[in-house]
Each structure stands twice: as C-alpha cells, then as structure tokens.
C-alpha cells in the first residue's frame, strides 16, 4: 500500500479539533478565488491599498536584508522600531511615559488581536463586537472558546456606549471597536469614544481599539487634524495599529499593540510560542513609514469615495465612508435579493464584490472596496447602477 493510500484512511472527522471545524473559510477569500476564474474582472473586493511602498521604506528593507538582519528580533520587536512607534504616539495621542514593556510589535494587527484575545478569553467568556464586523473578530473569539456578542449598529453603523451597555453581562471581558471601520468606513467621534471608555472603565472591561485605518481618516472626520482615538482619553485600553493598510505593505505583516503592561507582557509570552516575532528586516524598515507623507494618497481616496457615493445616488442608500477604503451598500428592497444573491448576479457581469453576510448577521448589504484604479471603480459603478435600476 502506497503512502497516499494510507493517508486516505485517516478519519479527519474524528481527528479535527472542534475549534477548526467551527471556522468556515473567509467569504473574502472566496471572492479572491472567484477573481482568479474570471477573465479581466472588475475586482472591487480587495481590502488592500493599490499604491506602492514608498521608496525610502523599500530602501530601508533592502538595506536591512543586505546587512544580514535575518535573525529573530526580540519578541516585543526591534528597539529602534519601538522607539519610533513611541515617538509617533507621543505626537499623535500624547502617550509619552510608555516603556519597552508596554508595547509589542506583532505579525500584523491580526497578530495583536489574536494575542490579546487569547490572553483574556476562555470557555464562555464574552466579547462584544460591532455588527457589521471585520471578518476575523468573531472567529478569533471562537478559537479562544469565547462567545462573540454582536452589537447591532444598523442603520448608521455607529457603535455607541448606549448600544453596548445592554449587552454587558457578568461574563463580558472585552469590547472591540474599529474606527475607521471595515466594512463600513465609519469614524466614531471623540465624544462617542469617550463615552465608550467611561462605560468600559466603570464595568471593569478591557476596551480594544483596532485602529488599523487611522491614517486613512478623511478630512471631515479628523479632530484637531487627527483620527479620533479613545487612547486620548485613557491608557486603560489596548490600542492596536499597523503599517500594512496605511503604507501599502500588507504582506509585510507588521502591526503593534500598546497598553497596560500586564496585558502586553502576557501577550509577549504567547508571542514567544505562536509567532516568535514579526519579520526582522521589515521591522527595520518600518520606522521609515512615519516619515511618509500620505496626504496625496488620502486625497485620491477621498475622490474615489466621492465617485462611489455620487455614482450610486438615486439607486441605493450609501452611508458615506469617513475613512478606510470601503463602502457598505444596502441592496434596494425592491430587488428582493439577499447580499449573496446580488453578489452572484454582479459576478455574471464580471464584477467582484463581497456580500454583507460575510461581515454581519444580516445579508442585506455588500461591501465595495475603492482601493482600485478609477477606471475599474467607474466600470463597477456602471454595472451596479444597471443592476439596481433593473
């Protein structure tokens, strides 16, 4: 009997862990796979920026590789990068007293979220999440044997203290917010964030603020020229940020978490055994990101946002995104279609978008990414107007 034949005898229904069987493939990944099968698709599903990494940042990465900086870094990250992050945070949110023990560089922002949830959550513990949510949030909680509790934010997609409070139980340990949000592009105000901070502190709950899109906050949502952040109101939270979405290097897998020392140190212990460290030569380059002027790129994305909002005016309700690079668009009720059905219809016209049910307990919307060339966006909007007007 050959090796392949022996492998087929394994009963994986028995061998697989329940946590693995409980997780389905990402609906976004299925959209990627669909794109491969279509010839010259209009792909407005991809959640990554379409601009190249800045030349200075690329040069720093190349220099690090040529200098043979190929070994492991410290678990919490290269000292030079951590100092650059602290310098940036001092100017952005006013956190000047942090030390090496209060910050960890991670394998992407998802790495920080995994470490934090695994540090906090066990059997039956509850994590309150926005609905709509980033696809990984409920799955990470489930992998930690916790219970995701969805906070209904329809129709305006604003996760407020008033909406969170009724969901808190004795099992609640964590509240997760993302602003600017994926998939909705909503940016919470400083007042809304301060109220969430107060609620979490009063109830003894950890607040995790996922700010992966902080640099992609559009002008009308900025406060004092910056992305509103709950970290300006307290240090008793976990602030998660990253480099991939902001600087066009999603595949470099670089993020960081900063917050209470006890939590960061517990996350560092887990990182030793899960990821070891973030990629060393790319860490060496990341400090250069803080010197990149993103304003021309943001201006272009604002124009793309306006293309989407104006292009669908009169045929669909669109909550204008204030950040990130997504629009979460409601399918007109007159069509009598779910998000999945509408996306399948769009695919017949070579347009790839993601059904709302991937991000939500509802399947009434779809997500469109405008991180794409203007001509592709225009072509996609033409298809959408035609489908929604039929």
Domains with residue ranges and CATH for the chain: 15-52+294-389 (3.90.1150.10), 55-291 (3.40.640.10)
| Alpha carbon distance 199, 177 (integer Å) | 13
Q: To which residue do tokens 């293309």 refer? A: 307
In tens, the pLDDT along 77-117 reads 999 999 999 999 999 999 886 677 899 999 999 999 999 99
Please give the share of the chain, as a percent, with pLDDT higher than 70: 94
Task: Say yes or no to pLDDT of 8 above 90.
Answer: no
**Residue 18 — very low, low, confident or very high, per pLDDT cuts 50/70/90?**
confident
**Residue 16 — very low, low, confident or very high, per pLDDT cuts 50/70/90?**
confident
Give the predicted TM-score (pTM) of the model. 0.93
C-alpha closest to that of 338 among 321, 355, 353, 350: 355
In tens, the pLDDT along 187-239 reads 999 999 999 999 999 999 999 999 999 999 999 999 989 999 999 999 999 99
Task: Say yes or no to pLDDT of 125 above 70.
Answer: yes
DSSP state of 157: T
Please say whether the beta carbons of 308 and 368 come within 8 A.
Answer: yes
Q: Which two tokens stand for residue 164?
A: 């969170």
Please say whether the beta carbons of 15 and 340 come within 8 A.
Answer: no
**Structure confidence at residue 27 (pLDDT):** 61
Task: Say yes or no to pLDDT of 36 above 80.
Answer: no
Rounded to 10 deg, the angle between the 374-389 and 295-311 helix axes is: 20
Instruction: Work out the average pLDDT over 264-290.
Output: 96
Task: Say yes or no to pLDDT of 345 above 80.
Answer: yes
Q: Which two tokens stand for residue 336?
A: 């009598």
């Amino acid at each position: 009997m050959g090796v392949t034949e022996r492998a087929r005898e394994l009963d994986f229904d028995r061998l697989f862990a329940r946590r693995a069987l409980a997780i389905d493939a990402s609906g976004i990944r299925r959209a990627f796979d669909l794109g491969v099968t279509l010839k010259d698709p209009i792909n407005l599903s991809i959640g990554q920026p379409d601009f190249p990494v800045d030349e200075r940042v690329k040069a720093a990465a190349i220099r690090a590789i040529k200098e043979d900086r190929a070994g492991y870094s410290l678990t919490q990250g290269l000292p030079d990068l951590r100092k650059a992050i602290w310098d940036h945070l001092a100017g952005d949110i006013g956190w000047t007293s942090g030390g090496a023990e209060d910050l960890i560089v991670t394998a992407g922002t998802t790495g920080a979220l995994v470490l934090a949830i695994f540090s906090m959550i066990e059997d039956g513990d509850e994590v309150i999440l926005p609905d709509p949510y980033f696809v990984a949030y409920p799955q990470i909680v489930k992998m930690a044997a916790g219970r995701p509790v969805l906070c209904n934010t329809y129709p305006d997609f604003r996760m407020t203290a008033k909406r969170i409070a009724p969901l808190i139980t004795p099992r609640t340990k964590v509240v997760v917010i993302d602003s600017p949000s994926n998939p909705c592009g909503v940016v919470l105000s400083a007042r809304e964030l301060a109220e969430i901070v107060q609620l979490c502190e009063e109830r003894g709950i950890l607040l995790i603020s996922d700010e992966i899109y902080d640099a992609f906050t559009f002008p009308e949502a900025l406060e004092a020229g910056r992305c509103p952040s709950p970290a300006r109101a307290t240090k008793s939270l976990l602030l998660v940020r990253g480099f991939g979405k902001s600087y066009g290097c999603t595949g470099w897998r670089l993020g960081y978490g900063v917050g209470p020392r006890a939590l960061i140190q517990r996350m560092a212990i887990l990182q030793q055994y899960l990821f070891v460290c973030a990629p060393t030569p790319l860490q060496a380059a990341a400090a250069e990101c803080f010197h990149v002027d993103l304003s021309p790129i943001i201006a272009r994305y604002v124009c793309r946002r306006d293309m989407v909002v104006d292009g669908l005016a009169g045929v669909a309700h669109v909550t204008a995104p204030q950040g990130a690079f997504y629009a979460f668009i409601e399918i007109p009720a007159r069509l009598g279609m779910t998000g999945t059905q509408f996306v399948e219809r769009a695919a017949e016209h070579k347009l790839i978008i993601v059904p709302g049910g991937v991000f939500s307990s509802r399947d009434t919307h779809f997500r469109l990414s405008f991180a794409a060339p203007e001509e592709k966006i225009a072509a996609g909007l033409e298809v959408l107007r035609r489908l929604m007007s039929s």
